[in-house]
Amino acid sequence: MARTRMQLLMAAAGIAAVFTATGCGAADMTKQSSPYANVGGAKSVTLSVQSWVGAQANVAVAQYLLEHELGYRVDTVQVDEIPAWDALSQGRVDAILEDWGHPEQEQRYVKDKKLIVPGGGLGVTGHIGWWVPKYFADKHPDVLNWKNLNKYAKTFKTAESGGKGQLLDGSPSYVTNDKALVKNLKLNYQIVFSGSEAAQITQIKQFAKGKKPFLTYWYEPQWLFNQVPMAEVKLPKYTDKCANEGTKDPESVDCAYPTTPLQKYLNADFAKQGGKASAFLKKFHWTKEDQNEVSELIASKGMSAQDAAKEWVEAHPDVWKKWLP
C-alpha cells in the first residue's frame, strides 16, 4: 500500500511540476519562440528566408554582418511568404526582410493584434508582370500589348499546356493573380506552375538557349534579366479601384500588378528587446543594384550565400557601415 501511495504522490508531483514549468495557467502559443533560439548564452536572431534569390541575398548579407560585426548567431528558416507572417507574429522568426505586400496579413497582425511592427523599407522597388524574351519581342512588337496575346497563343503552346498557350508561373508561394487575369481578360492560355523559382529559371534558360518564344510570370529586380533580356507585356492599367476590389474578391482582378516598395517587418517584441540586432535590421537599406550583385554571385556563379555576402561586404563598406548601430 505504501508503495502505491508513494507512486501516486510522485505522479502528482510530476504533473504539478509540468504545470509549474509551463506557467500553470494560460500558455499563449503566440508568445513561444523557437526552441533553438538563444541557446548557450549566444545571442541569436532567426531570419526568415524566402525561396527567391533576391531574398536570399538580403538574408545572406544581414547574416554575415550580424555574425561578423555584431557577434550574433543567426538561424535561418525557409518559410513561405504567408506562413512567414504567422511565424513572425509568434516570434518563431524575428524578421522578414523583403515583403511584397500582403494587405490582409498586415491588417491582422500589424494593425489589429500589434504583434508585428514595420521595419521600414528595404530600398528596393518590386514589380511583378508578364514578360516575353527580347529576341521574340523585337520580331513581333505587337505581342507587348495584352490584347494581342490570343493571337500568339499557338506560338506559346507546349506539351504541358494542352492546346492553349503556356503562361509559365513560378513557385506556389508567390503573390499571383494570374488565374483571375487569364479568366477575366478571356485569354486562351493555360497556367503551368513550375513548382519553384529554380525550376522556372532552368526552364527559361532552356527556352532562351533555343531562342524559343515563351510567356512567363516574372518580376523585378531579378538578376536573370542580365542573362536573358526580356520585355514586359502591358496588361490593363493598374488602378486603386481594381486593387481594392481585388482585395475583397481575388477572382475579380483584371488589371496589372502594382509597383511595390519592398518592406521589412519585425516581431514586435524583438523590435523592442532585440538590442543591436533589431536596430541593425531596421537600418538595413540598399539598392536594386546591390541586391542584384549578391544574387547573381549566388545564383549564376554558384557561390554559397555566405561567400557571396562576404565578397559584397568587402567591396562596399561605405554602404553597410551606416547600418551598424
Would you tell me which residues interact with another protein (CB under 8 A)? 18, 21-23, 25-36, 39-40, 49, 51, 53, 56, 75-87, 90, 92, 108, 113, 159-160, 171-173, 193-199, 202-203, 299, 302, 304
Residues 6+ apart with CB under 8 A from 286: 61, 122, 123, 124, 319
Closer by beta carbon to another protein, 55 or else 215:
55
State the Cα–Cα distance between residues 92 and 34, nearest whole angstrom.
5
Closer by beta carbon to another protein, 65 or else 79:
79
CB 176 → another protein: shortest distance, Å? 10
Closer by beta carbon to another protein, 74 or else 255:
74
Nearest to 37 by CA among 77, 78, 5: 77
What is the bridge-based pairing of β-strands 73-78 and 215-220? unpaired
Residue 83 vs residues 40, 107, 133, 193, 302: alpha-carbon distances, Å: 28, 15, 33, 20, 28
Closer by beta carbon to another protein, 240 or else 249:
249
Nearest to 99 by CA among 171, 44, 48: 48
Measured from the Cβ of residue 71, the count of other Cβ atoms closer than 10 Å reads 11
Nearest to 188 by CA among 157, 214, 212: 157
Residues 6+ apart with CB under 8 A from 161: 189, 190, 192
CB 323 → another protein: shortest distance, Å? 25
CB 26 → another protein: shortest distance, Å? 4
CB 93 → another protein: shortest distance, Å? 9
State the Cα–Cα distance between residues 243 and 15, nearest whole angstrom.
54
CB 90 → another protein: shortest distance, Å? 6
The residue type at 130? W
DSSP state of 56: H
State the Cα–Cα distance between residues 11 and 2, nearest whole angstrom.
14
Closer by beta carbon to another protein, 49 or else 97:
49
Nearest to 203 by CA among 179, 224, 222: 224
Closer by beta carbon to another protein, 51 or else 278:
51
CB 151 → another protein: shortest distance, Å? 27
Closer by beta carbon to another protein, 56 or else 278:
56
CB 250 → another protein: shortest distance, Å? 10
